[in-house]
Amino acid sequence: MFMLTSILLTAGFALMGAGIGAGLVAIGAGLGVGRIGGQAMESIARQPEAAGKIQTAMLIIAALIEVVALFAVVICLLIALNAGGIAFF
Amino acid sequence: MTRKFLVLSLLFSVFLLSFSVGSFAAGTEAEEGKEDPTGFIMHHIKDSHEWHFVTIGHTHVTLALPVITYSADRGLEFYTSSDFQNHETHKFGKEYAHNGIFIDDHDHLGRVDGGSILDFSITKNVVMLFLVVAFVLYVTLSAANHYKKNGAVAPKGAASFVEPIVIFVRDEIALKSIGPKYKKFVPYLLTLFFFIWTGNILGLLPGAANLTGNIAVTFTLAMITFVIVNVNGNKDYWKHVFATPGVPAALLPIMVLVEFIGLFTKPFALMVRLFVAITAGHIVILSFIALVFIFESYSIGVLSTIMVTFINVIELLVATIQAYVFTLFSAMYIGGAVAEHHHDDHH
């Protein structure tokens, strides 16, 4: 009986960790891409002729940062799927 | 408004709309989606021994794919995947073993007597790979034929689609990253770009297989880049790895270790970047669709469809960007391998 609750507790902690992790990842991605966007806006304001080039570079770098965030999301998903399976036997 | 313009815009709208059909095509998997959203999502992401298109009521519209196995004592064997599944529910399982071989519900092939067996089946992703290759070959060979027949003229048809992309990859990616020796590597970079781009875009269509989101596929692409980079590495490249100039002798062992590991982390990053970007995109789209079946309400359905269409369009952009980034980074690594060391800019 005690082992049952300790397994459920561990699984509960794992799921909580996955959830909090995914939230933190979202914050990280938001900060990163937001900074890129902000700097891009500033530089376009400074030099409107280069707007096309800056926009292209901004999109590419945003995709790179987004991938790092998605990598962490996949890890959180793996934790959630595997821990959730153990909890709901 | 010429007629050609109208026809083209109609075709383009249908093409674009087909990305939102994804939310309708999954509509008949109601039971499966509500009870098990995780299984529903994983089923669409993972590779499989059969190609499941749609489930209408209780009828599964699937294509049973060939199963090819090899083991040392049994030799090469050919089956079809429907041999290994329950004929009503189309579920795989250890209990539906056939001829001493089974496919379990995690889609792993195994032998009933526990011996070793190799799985060379034509799975969903392999068929998708052949389709992507056929598509890319058709488009590029049509373009090449146009030039063969007409010489170096302004492009028409498939050539007019292919030529700007080829010029872009050759000038912006290959020439800028590799330098004077770029010509040798342009065919590889073009193949990479077209294959990844086509694989990404076709994988977004409903009922398609998640090809470039399969880590084995991206591993192979990254490995080919790794082989090309290291085979073409010149003396300066290897000197940088094993005897980095400007490093004090005490730190040299650590530098060698770090640089050696760095040889592998770069293709590893290529592999993971493409895999994660495409798979995560598919998971997000599928999650929104699964949401409809979890809530089973009309308003959620409408909102979800709008979100799915919106995210599908973003995924089109991501598909192109990821193909570009993979090609660009491959070109940069190749450029690093073949670069001539200029003695005026010392470290």
Q: Give the mean model confidence (pLDDT) for residues B164-184.
A: 92
Confidence bin at B75 (pLDDT 50/70/90)? confident
> How far off is chain A from B322, nearest CA to CA, in Å?
8
For the ranges A10-24, B174-188, B332-346, the lowest mean pLDDT is seen at B332-346
Choose the mutation target among A70, A77, A82, A86 for the interface with B, i.e. most B CBs under 10 Å: A70
Measured between beta carbons, which residues in chain B are less than 8 angstroms from residue A67?
Answer: 273, 276-277, 322
Measured between beta carbons, which residues in chain B are less than 8 angstroms from residue A71?
Answer: 272, 276
> How far off is chain B from A88, nearest CA to CA, in Å?
13
Confidence bin at B28 (pLDDT 50/70/90)? very low
Q: Give the mean model confidence (pLDDT) for residues B30-57.
A: 77
Q: How many CB pairs under 8 A join A and B?
A: 31
Task: Write out pLDDT tens, residues B244-278.
Answer: 888 888 888 888 999 999 999 999 999 999 999 99
What residue in B sits closest to A81 (Cα-Cα)?
A: B38
Q: Output the pLDDT for position B20.
A: 55
Residues 6+ apart with CB under 8 A from A30: none
Q: Give the mean model confidence (pLDDT) for residues B151-178.
A: 89
Measured between beta carbons, which residues in chain B are less than 8 angstroms from residue A77?
Answer: 283
Q: Give the mean model confidence (pLDDT) for residues B119-129.
A: 91
- Smallest Cβ distance to A74: which of B276, B324, B325? B276
Q: Are B284 and B311 in contact (CB under 8 A)?
A: yes
CA distance linking residue B323 with residue B187, whole number of Å: 15
Q: Output the pLDDT for position B27.
A: 45
Is pLDDT at B18 greater than 70 in this prediction?
Answer: no
CA distance linking residue A83 with residue B91, whole number of Å: 24
Does residue A56 belong to the interface with chain B, where contact is any CB pair within 8 Å? Answer: no
Measured between beta carbons, which residues in chain B are less than 8 angstroms from residue A84?
Answer: 38
For the ranges A1-10, B60-69, B172-181, the lowest mean pLDDT is seen at A1-10
Considering just the CA atoms, what is the radius of gyration of chain A in Å? 20
CA distance linking residue B345 with residue B240, whole number of Å: 15
Domain A24-87: state its class. Answer: mainly alpha
Task: Return the higher-pLDDT residue of B239 and B134.
Answer: B134
Task: Write out pLDDT tens, residues A41-71.
Answer: 999 999 999 998 898 889 888 888 888 888 8
Q: Which of B63-72, B225-234, B244-253 has maximum average pLDDT?
A: B225-234
- Smallest Cβ distance to B272: which of A63, A71, A73? A71
CA distance linking residue B165 with residue B162, whole number of Å: 5
What are phi and psi for residue B323, nearest 5 degrees? -65, -45
Q: Output the pLDDT for position B343.
A: 58
Q: Express the helix, strand and coil content of chain A in percent, nearest 5 each.
A: 95, 0, 5
The domain segmentation of chain A, as residue ranges, is 24-87
Q: Output the pLDDT for position B344.
A: 52
Tokens describing residue B4 = 């050609």
For the ranges A44-48, B114-118, B132-136, the lowest mean pLDDT is seen at B114-118
Q: Give the mean model confidence (pLDDT) for residues B9-33.
A: 59
Task: Return the higher-pLDDT residue of A74 and B308.
Answer: B308
Q: Give the mean model confidence (pLDDT) for residues B140-153.
A: 88
H or E segment to which residue B49 belongs: none
Q: Are B60 and B136 in contact (CB under 8 A)?
A: no
CA distance linking residue B118 with residue B72, whole number of Å: 9
Q: Are B23 and B305 in contact (CB under 8 A)?
A: yes
Q: Output the pLDDT for position B24.
A: 45
Q: Output the pLDDT for position B25.
A: 43
ipTM of the complex: 0.75
Q: Output the pLDDT for position A71.
A: 84
Confidence bin at B128 (pLDDT 50/70/90)? very high
What type of residue is B173?
A: I
Measured between beta carbons, which residues in chain B are less than 8 angstroms from residue A64?
Answer: 273, 325
CA distance linking residue B320 with residue A73, whole number of Å: 21
CA distance linking residue A69 with residue B273, whole number of Å: 10
Burial class (CB in 10 A: 0-12, 13-18, 19+), B297: exposed
What residue in B sits closest to A80 (Cα-Cα)?
A: B38
Q: Output the pLDDT for position B74.
A: 83
Is pLDDT at B19 greater than 90 in this prediction?
Answer: no
Question: What percentage of chain B exceeds 90 in pLDDT?
Answer: 39
- Smallest Cβ distance to A70: which of B38, B277, B321? B277
Q: Do A74 and B324 touch (CB under 8 A)?
A: no
- Smallest Cβ distance to A63: which of B42, B283, B322? B322
Task: Return the higher-pLDDT residue of B185 and B244.
Answer: B185
Q: Output the pLDDT for position B156.
A: 83
CA distance linking residue B95 with residue B151, whole number of Å: 62
Measured between beta carbons, which residues in chain B are less than 8 angstroms from residue A73?
Answer: 280
Q: Give the mean model confidence (pLDDT) for residues B137-149.
A: 91
Q: Helices B186-203 & B252-295, crossing angle to 10 degrees?
A: 30
What are phi and psi for residue B218, nearest 5 degrees? -65, -30
> How far off is chain A from B253, nearest CA to CA, in Å?
30
> How far off is chain B from A63, nearest CA to CA, in Å?
7
Q: Do B276 and A71 touch (CB under 8 A)?
A: yes
Burial class (CB in 10 A: 0-12, 13-18, 19+), A47: exposed
- Smallest Cβ distance to B279: which of A60, A63, A74? A74
The domain segmentation of chain B, as residue ranges, is 63-122, 125-338
Is pLDDT at B135 greater than 90 in this prediction?
Answer: yes
Does residue A77 belong to the interface with chain B, where contact is any CB pair within 8 Å? Answer: yes
H or E segment to which residue B70 belongs: strand B66-71
Task: Write out pLDDT tens, residues B292-342.
Answer: 888 888 888 999 999 999 999 999 999 999 999 999 999 999 999 998 876
Confidence bin at A33 (pLDDT 50/70/90)? very high
Q: Do A63 and B277 touch (CB under 8 A)?
A: yes
Q: Are B45 and B282 in contact (CB under 8 A)?
A: yes
What type of residue is B17?
A: L
What residue in A sits closest to B272 (Cα-Cα)?
A: A71
Mean pLDDT of chain B: 86
